[in-house]
Structure formats: C-alpha cells, structure tokens
Structure 1
Amino acid sequence: MHSNKREGSIEVVLYERTELPPPAAERADCVHDRLVELEENGHVDAVTREEWVKRTPVEDCDDELRDTYLSFESWADEEGVRLTPFFQTRECFSSAAGEHTDWLVMPAFCLAVYDGDDVSAIYPHNDDEDGAKTVEDGLQALIGEDLSDATPEALAAD
C-alpha cells in the first residue's frame, strides 16, 4: 500500500532583513504568500516568518543568529554547496571600536527548509554543478518542480 504521508514534519522559515527597501519588502511578502499557499495545499506542514539584521559583528553576534548561521553552514558543508555570495563575512570599520572588524552580512531574505529539527535545504545557495539556487528555486522545489535550466543570475548579499 502506498501512502503520501511524510515521515517528518516539513517547516519552512522565511528569514528577512528588518529593514528592506519597498521593492524587496514587496517581494518578501509575495514569497510569504506563496509559502502560505504551499502550507494550505499540504506541500509543507508549517511556515514561519522571522527577521534578522542586515549585518552584525562576528565577535558580538546574537547567539540565536550565530547558531542559525552555523546550522546553515553545516548543511552547506554536508551538501557540498556554498552559501556565498549570499551570506558573506566582510571587514567593516566599527566607529564604536575605532577599528576594522569582521561582520557577517545576511541576504535580504532566505528560505530555510527543516525536516523535523534538521536543516534540509537553504535558499539561496551556490551549487558547483548547477550554479546559484535562488529563493524561487526553493519555492519550486517545495512543489516538486525543477528550474535548474532557468536559474536567474545571482547577486551578492549587499
């Protein structure tokens, strides 16, 4: 007997910067609306929307943001993909410290797909075989469509 029931619970988190310019905020709203449709149609079990900062000093990073980023990095290492250029570490001048320090720069928005407690996919990311995988690719993957031949150009995080 064949069953469509999933073994785990699929949750998708839409992370977005706290301050987005209007066109990016509208795009994030559209992505969220599509995720809600996927949840309503049974493609995913839960959808969450969370905010994160544009950039943060690496040495003084919020624990939750650090743990999230490290889990993304761990997933990328296991999958043989890269999070750059979407997530970057850059040297920036800190007026408070009066010196240059490393800062983690987050993408405008990102999809994280969790199977139970485990990260099962991050969009955007870079795959050496197929190139950049965008948030749109992530949406299509959630409904089982492959857009590997139609991947748009990837842009850096900042």
Structure 2
Amino acid sequence: MSSFDGVRVDLYLRDETSPAVADQQRRARSRLEDRLGAADVAVEEHSKRVPADDEDALYSTYADVRAWADDAGVSLSPFFQRRESYDPTAQQVREMVTLPVLWLTVSERSALLATYPHVDGAVATVSDAVDDLVDDRRPPNWAAD
C-alpha cells in the first residue's frame, strides 16, 4: 500500500511541444500512473499561455499555485511568467500567464501540498517530484501539514 493514499496528482502538459519534450511528458505520466494508478493522476493538456482571467479554470489553478508558492516562500519564476502579450483568441494584447511545458500539483483532501517546478534555494523539478512519488517518498518541498 502506498503512503500516498488520498493524495492526488494533477499533471499539466503543454500541447504542441517538440518530440523530445513530448517524450519527457509521456515518461512522467506513465511513471505516475503506473505507481499511483490512473485514478489518482489527472492529466490536463494546455496551450502555452492562458489569459489572466478569474473565469478561466486553468488560470484559477495557476492562482492557487501562486498562493501556495507565496505561503511556502518559494518562487515560481522563471517557470511561470505573467505579462502583457498578444492573445490570439481575443485578438488583443492583455495580461497572460505563460505556463511550463510540464508541471504538476500534489493535493490531499483538496489542500494543495506542492507544485513543481519551483525554486526553493535550488530548483525543485517535476522529475524530482515524480522520482520521490514513484519511490514512495514524500518530496521534501511539500508544505507542512
């Protein structure tokens, strides 16, 4: 039995990536699903940028991640970037968030425990978090219970 019962992993994959990045995304997904089970790993594909709009579900997730990072005292930069840029969907310049090609969140009972990648002195990568989860170790960068 895993020590992560009740833990949910949300894996976010940017669409339209290079073959090498797509292969990295597939490996991370496969390793997590093999270890935790597909029911405990939710996968969402997304575009490179999302509008900074509270009505957008992915932006809402980003806002939660940003709040976790602030509380944990870690940085999401340079992986997540928020700035004015052209939004082809709206056909105008507006505030957008550029998302990483691969990121994940770890939650327990709807409480966000961590997101990867982030910087806490050193870079805490998605690969590091996947390795820890697959090896049944609690990643050291999770927020305290």
Match of 2:14 in 1: 17
Stretch of structure 1 that moved more, 24-33 or 82-91: 82-91
Aligned in 2, Cα 1:5/1:54: closer, same or farther, shift over 3 Å?
closer
Aligned in 2, Cα 1:7/1:37: closer, same or farther, shift over 3 Å?
closer
Match of 1:137 in 2: 128
Match of 1:106 in 2: 99
The alignment status of 1:118 with 2:111, answered yes or no, reads yes
Amino acid at match of 1:25: A
Rg comparison, structure with higher value: 1
Q: CA deviation at 1:37?
A: 2.0
Q: CA deviation at 1:117?
A: 0.4
The alignment status of 1:48 with 2:39, answered yes or no, reads no
Amino acid at match of 2:24: R
Check conservation: 2:11, 2:105, Cα contact below 8 A. Answer: yes
Q: Percent identity?
A: 32
- Give ranges in structure 1 of 5+ residues lacking alignment: 149-158
Q: CA deviation at 1:21?
A: 1.5
Q: CA deviation at 1:116?
A: 1.5
TM-score computed with the length of structure 2 as normaliser: 0.80
TM-score computed with the length of structure 1 as normaliser: 0.74
Match of 2:24 in 1: 27
Q: CA deviation at 1:69?
A: 0.5
Determine the C-alpha separation between the residues in 1 that align with 2:19 and 2:32.
Answer: 20
Match of 2:120 in 1: 127
SS in 1 for 2:17: coil
Aligned in 2, Cα 1:5/1:144: closer, same or farther, shift over 3 Å?
closer
- Give ranges in structure 2 of 5+ residues lacking alignment: none
Given candidates 78, 98, 103, the residue that maps to 2:71 is 78
